[in-house]
A and B are shown apart, each in its own frame.
Chain A
Amino acid sequence: GENVEQHPSTLSVQEGDSAVIKCTYSDSASNYFPWYKQELGKRPQLIIDIRSNVGEKKDQRIAVTLNKTAKHFSLHITETQPEDSAVYFCAAKSGEYGNKLVFGAGTILRVKS
């Protein structure tokens, strides 16, 4: 089955700096990769996603890149703000015909003002 690894587990950045979180996946048939933001005690919220036929996607301060050959994808947050502080999870849709998401372990992002 699919296995998703996420690094780093914690990340502290100064307000205004960029943050990068990286994930690798094992199933070459996976073709959908969403990123979720979860604040303490709340539900995960989809912030950006990318499909395997696209190499990069950007939405304002957030971008995701995908390298299918290396089977890794990354989340980039520019001009970080204190409200970006949260736990971020990457995920991969398992298998070409699967419909379930396999999540990474999560990254605690702290933006210091």
Chain B
Amino acid sequence: GAVVSQHPSRVICKSGTSVKIECRSLDFQATTMFWYRQFPKKSLMLMATSNEGSKATYEQGVEKDKFLINHASLTLSTLTVTSAHPEDSSFYICSARDLDRVIGTSGSYEQFFGPGTRLTVL
């Protein structure tokens, strides 16, 4: 099956610093990747849709200047949490769409999730 990796798996940083998280599709090309945030015992909240070669589309309430997304290639998207604060501590998960796995006629493409990155801001 399709594999999505994330790096780092865990990161602890001081308040005010920036943290970059990488999401890679290892064995397929992904024109679209999604970034989610998940609080403990909560659901996945979509933060933004990352499109290769164009600007990301942010969900309502997500600060684009704080959560910088760059989708520089068909296999890599990065999320940078700028000037991190303790309230940014969370589990960040990316997912990627596999162009070759079209699901019937729905127009959907199967999404594969990365293992997540646990961010702790002190």
Interface majority SS on B: helix, strand, loop or mixed? Answer: strand
Q: Are A99 and B108 in contact (CB under 8 A)?
A: yes
Q: Are B46 and A102 in contact (CB under 8 A)?
A: yes
Decide yes or no whether A42 CB sits under 8 A from chain B.
yes
Q: Choose, from B14-22, B66-74, B79-87, B98-106, the stretch at the interface.
A: B98-106
Complex-state Cα separation, A32 to B116, whole angstroms: 24
Decide yes or no whether B93 CB sits under 8 A from chain A.
yes
Q: Are A44 and B93 in contact (CB under 8 A)?
A: yes
Q: Known interface pairs A44-B44, A44-B93, A100-B46. Does A31 touch B106 (Cβ–Cβ under 8 Å)?
A: yes
| Interface bin, chain B | 20 to 34
Residues on A with C-beta less than 8 A from B111 are 34, 46, 101
Decide yes or no whether B61 CB sits under 8 A from chain A.
no
Residues on B with C-beta less than 8 A from A101 are 34, 46, 111
Decide yes or no whether A73 CB sits under 8 A from chain B.
no
Q: Are B97 and A53 in contact (CB under 8 A)?
A: no
Residues on B with C-beta less than 8 A from A41 are 116, 118
Complex-state Cα separation, A97 to B17, whole angstroms: 38
When C-beta atoms are compared, the residue in chain B nearest to A97 turns out to be B107
Q: Are A44 and B108 in contact (CB under 8 A)?
A: no
When C-beta atoms are compared, the residue in chain A nearest to B57 turns out to be A100
Q: Are A43 and B114 in contact (CB under 8 A)?
A: yes
Residue among B34, B97, B111, B118 with most chain A CB within 10 A:
B111
Q: What is the distance, in angstroms, from B76's C-beta to the closest C-beta of chain A?
A: 18
Decide yes or no whether B109 CB sits under 8 A from chain A.
yes
Q: Are B109 and A99 in contact (CB under 8 A)?
A: yes
Residues on A with C-beta less than 8 A from B41 are 106, 108
Query: When the two chains form the complex, which single residue of A53, A89, A93 contacts B108, counting CB atoms closer than 8 Å?
Result: A93
Within 8 A of A (CB), among B26-53: 32, 34, 41-46, 49
Q: What is the distance, in angstroms, from A103's C-beta to the closest C-beta of chain B?
A: 5
Residues on A with C-beta less than 8 A from B105 are 51, 53
Interface residues of A (CB under 8 A from B): 31-32, 34, 36, 41-46, 49, 51-53, 89, 93, 96-97, 99-106, 108
